[in-house]
Amino acid sequence: MQADGYLAHAPGYVLNEGPKLITGRFVHEDSFTLERYRATGGYEGLRAALEMTPAEVHDEVRAATLLGRGGAGFPAGVKWGFLPPGKHPYYLVVNGDESEPGTYKDRLLMERDPHQLIEGCLIACYALGLRQCFLYVRGEMALAQERIAAALNDAYAAGLVGREICGTDFSVDIVMAWGAGAYIVGEETALIESLEGRRGMPRLKPPYFPAAVGLYGQPTIVNNVETLSNLPWLMVNGSQAYKGFGSESSPGTRMFAVSGHLRRPGVYEVEHGVTTFRDLIYGENFCGGIRDGHELKMFIPGGGSAPWFFAEHLDLPLEARPVGAAGSMLGSGAIVIMDDTTDAVRAAWRVVKFFARESCGKCTPCREGTTWLEQILRRILDGEGRPSDIDLLLDIGDNISPGPYPAAAHNGQEAVPFPPRQTTICPLGPSAVAPVVSTIRRFRQEYEDKITRQDPIRIPVAAGAAP
């Protein structure tokens, strides 16, 4: 381990002080092997689960209030309860398509500890009485795919996956699939479409949950990699111990990927709900403050889709509810820090460009609106902006996401709580509105400073003049 906490074999991960429920093995260079995994208590959670009835395992997860780590923060135990009884087969789909800008925690979990994820899958399958699990890994994550494939092979060979696991009558097959490079496949219904071999485009809702109609039309549970990686520890130590960490409403630990203008950016496992943004950004145990003595200008608290926060939000705890009430979301656990050297318009443009490129093209407002937003921002940056462009940006945003858009309180305006409304099928379109609304609301002057052109003179069309 290097002095600053970085691990040479786990780039991006910072080993700091504090409870390590899911990243504890990262210190070992060979943490991804079955030998190391077993030597460090691996597959004990599965063994513990197999000694319970499936219902007891489910109850334990429910009791632990294990919140989903993919973005929505929905309790896993409750989600599992949505499976309609008797409509077998059920499927478990692991969402390993981590592609939210700034998020790279699941990649580390898959690369560094694939067996922990596999064990988590097995525990979930056992609790839900299902026999087939699909592990969907983002297409670009070659190393994660390699490690998971190797781990699956070892686990199959060791009798931990497959038929009659550990000598019981519990059998599960785990299949790895990988994406073709589309951000939208992180949306669970688009992931299911992709898994079925079609274009990764979100499905229409209702049905709202894949638990009702999912993969191949069957009830399907879609869980995030980090969520499932919590299960082995939870099974070994129990829900009471689990709730000993974090806050009451958000127990356990959570991984945050903190990036940007920091002294020590990286992925941290932190106690959920009790740590604040200030702790994480300025704490010596964490990121150690802004680089080169600069000041914080703004930060994105929950991945590229989240509305932006500012210095006054630093004391909010890392917990979904207060963050949502303040006008943003904790999302996928990606925090992007921007210091006072950052050009707000350019930063907004960069995030919007991402969403414009990643729009799947299915529904009109997202397909056309995100690109239009990007074009206007680009034009403003290029010195071709017009005074009306600012209101145009806001109005395009309103046509993608009608009504007041979630935003932090500013200048007497109250905070608009998350989530946004949408004219689109999925939240990708509204995500592109977040940086635009956040920056215009806060840094309108920066926009105006960049605007150099005049609006064209419009010749008013007299009423009734049209033929």
Partner 1 sequence: MTAAEPQVGEEVAVEIEVDGIAMQARPGELLIAACERAGTYIPRFCYHPRMSPVGMCRMCLVEVDTGRGFSLQPSCMVPVSEGMKVSTASEAAKKAQDGVLEFLLINHPLDCPVCDKGGECPLQDQTMAYGPGETRFVEEKRHFTKPIAISETVYLDRERCILCDRCTRFADEVAGDALIHFMGRGNHTEVNTFTDEPFASYFSGNTVQICPVGALTAAPYRFKARPWDLSETVSTAWVDSVGARVAVQASRNRVLRVLGADADAVNWGWLSDKERFGFEALNSSERLSAPAVRQRGAAWRDVGWGEALGQIAAALGEAPPERVAVLGGARLTNEAQYMWAKLAKGVIGTDNVDAQLGDGLDPAIVLSLPRATIDDACRPGGTVVLMGPDPKEELGALYLRLRHAVVNDGVKLIEVTPGATGLSHLAQHTLRPRPGTTAQLAAALVATAESSPAADRSGTAADSGTASRGTGAAGASDADSDATNAADGIAGTGVDRSEFEAAARCLSEASDAVTVIVGRASLAEPAEEVEAAAIELTALPSVKFLPALRRGNVVGALEAGLSSEWLPGRVRLDDAESAESLIDAWPRMPETAGLDAAGILRAAARGDIDVLVLLGADPLNDFVDRDLAYRGLRGASLVVAVDLFMNDSSSLAAHVVLPAAGPTECDGTFTNLEGRVSPMSRKVTPPGTARPDWMIAADLAERHEPGSASDLDSPEAIRAELARVSNPHRLITEQALIQNALEGMLLERSDTTGEAGGWRRSGRPTMGRSPVGRTEPETGPAGREDNAGTREETPDGAFRLVAARTMYDDGVMLRHCPSSRGLAPAATAAVNPADLDAGSLGQGAAVRVVSDFGHLEATLVTDLGVPPGSLRVNWLAPGAPANALIAAGADATMVKVEAR
| Torsion (CA) 205, 211, 216, 217 in degrees, nearest 10 | -60
* Among 160-168, 236-244, 276-284, 352-360, the segment contacting partner 1 (CB under 8 A): 352-360
Residues 6+ apart with CB under 8 A from 92: 121, 124, 125, 128, 130, 132, 133, 134, 220, 221, 223
Size of residue set near partner 1 by CB under 8 A: 35
Q: How far is the CB of 126 from partner 1 (least distance, A)?
A: 36
| 360 binding partner 1? (CB under 8 A) | yes
Q: Which residue in the set 283, 417, 423, 446 belongs to the binding site for partner 1 (CB under 8 A)?
A: 423
Complex with partner 1: residue 27 or 392, whichever CB lies closer: 392
CB of 188 to partner 1, least distance (A): 17
Applying CB under 8 A, among 218, 237, 285, 399 the residue interacting with partner 1 is 399
d(CA 221, CA 92): 5
| 199 in Cβ contact with 35 (< 8 Å) | no
Tell whether residue 430 is a contact of partner 1 (CB under 8 A): no
Q: How far is the CB of 424 from partner 1 (least distance, A)?
A: 7
Interaction pattern, residues 187-226, with partner 1; x per rule: CB under 8 A = ------------x----x----------------------
User: Is the separation of the CB atoms in 291 and 389 below 8 Å?
Assistant: no
List binders of partner 1 among 251-270 (CB under 8 A): none
| Token pair for 148 | 């998971």
- Give me 276's structure tokens: 């604040």
- Smaller CB distance to partner 1: residue 148 or 426? 426
Residues 6+ apart with CB under 8 A from 4: 14, 264
Does position 180 bind partner 1 by CB under 8 A? no
Stretch that binds partner 1, among 22-30, 339-347, 399-407, 436-444 (CB under 8 A): 399-407
Q: Which is nearer to partner 1, 241 or 392 (CB)?
A: 392
Under rule CB under 8 A, residue 404 binds partner 1: no
Minimum CB–partner distance for residue 181 and partner 1 (Å): 10
- Smallest distance from the beta carbon of 422 to partner 1, in angstroms? 8
Nearer of residues 44 and 398 to partner 1, judged by Cβ: 398
Shortest distance, CB of residue 178 to partner 1, whole angstroms? 18
The residue (of 305 and 424) whose beta carbon lies closer to partner 1 is 424
- CA dihedral angle for residue 93, residue 99, residue 103, residue 107, rounded to 10 degrees: 60
Q: Is residue 363 within the footprint of partner 1 (CB under 8 A)?
A: yes
Instruction: Give the length of the chain.
Output: 467
> Least CB distance from residue 179 to partner 1, whole Å?
13
In angstroms, give the least distance from the CB of 147 to partner 1. 29
Decide if 42 contacts 29 (C-beta within 8 A). no
- Scanning 16-24, 244-252, 282-290, 369-377 for contacts with partner 1 by CB under 8 A, the matching segment is 369-377
Of 81, 89, 361, 383, which lies in the binding site for partner 1, with binding defined by CB under 8 A? Answer: 361
Pick between residue 118 and residue 360 the one whose CB is nearest to partner 1. Answer: 360
Q: Which C-beta is closer to partner 1: that of 148 or that of 393?
A: 393
Residues 6+ apart with CB under 8 A from 438: 298, 307, 308, 348, 407, 408
Q: Which residues bind partner 1 (CB under 8 A)?
A: 182, 199, 204, 356-365, 367-372, 375-376, 379, 388, 392, 396, 398-400, 402-403, 421, 423-425, 458
